Amino acid sequence: MKFVDSRVRVRYAETDQMAIAHHANYLVWFEIGRTDLCRVAGTSYREIEERGMLLVVVEIGCRYVIPFHYDDDVLIRTSIAEAGSRSMTFHYELRDATAATLHATGFSKHFWLDRESRRPIKADAEVMKCFTPFL
C-alpha cells in the first residue's frame, strides 16, 4: 500500500466567479489527504496532536492542470515522499472520480514541533513506525 485515496465533492462555497473551485481549496484537500493517510497508517492526526506533537506546514507547492467544477468528485491520492523524524513531505495527486484524469499535483513539507514549546522535535518512534508501509 503506497498511497491513500480520499474523496471530496466540490462544495458550492468552494467555487469562485470563474465557476471553478478556487485554487486555495486544493491545500485544504491536500490536508484531508494527509490526515486520511495518517488514519490509514494507524495514527490519526488528532491523536498525533494529543500526544503533544504538531506537524506544521513549512512549504507548499501545487500545479493546476485541469480545473474542478461545482459538484465534481475529487479523488485525492496521497503518498509519502519523505518521512524523517525531523520533517516529512507528502505528495498529492488530484484526479477525477475514475482516477483516469489528473487535475493537479502538489506537495507539502512539514516539521515536527512540540505542541507546547512550538520548537522542533524528533517525532515519536511509534508514530514514525506507522508510516513505514508507505515508504
- Give the residues lining the site for a copy of itself (CB under 8 A): 11-13, 15-20, 22-25, 27-28, 31-32, 35, 44-46, 49, 54, 56-64, 67, 70-71
List C-alpha distances in Å: 14 to 67, 78, 111, 122, 123. 12, 21, 28, 36, 34
β-strand pairing of 87-95 with 53-64 = unpaired
> Least separation, in Å, of the C-beta of 9 and a copy of itself?
8
- Closest to a copy of itself by CB, 50 vs 135, is 50
> Least separation, in Å, of the C-beta of 116 and a copy of itself?
12
> Least separation, in Å, of the C-beta of 49 and a copy of itself?
8
Tell me which residues are annotated as active site: 16
How far apart, in whole angstroms, are the C-alpha atoms of residue 37 and residue 69? 25
Residues 6+ apart with CB under 8 A from 82: 88, 89
- Closest to a copy of itself by CB, 72 vs 124, is 72
> Least separation, in Å, of the C-beta of 103 and a copy of itself?
12
- Closest to a copy of itself by CB, 67 vs 84, is 67
DSSP state of 21: B
- Closest to a copy of itself by CB, 47 vs 132, is 47
Copy the grid coordinates of residue 51.
500526544
Strand partners, 75: 7, 95
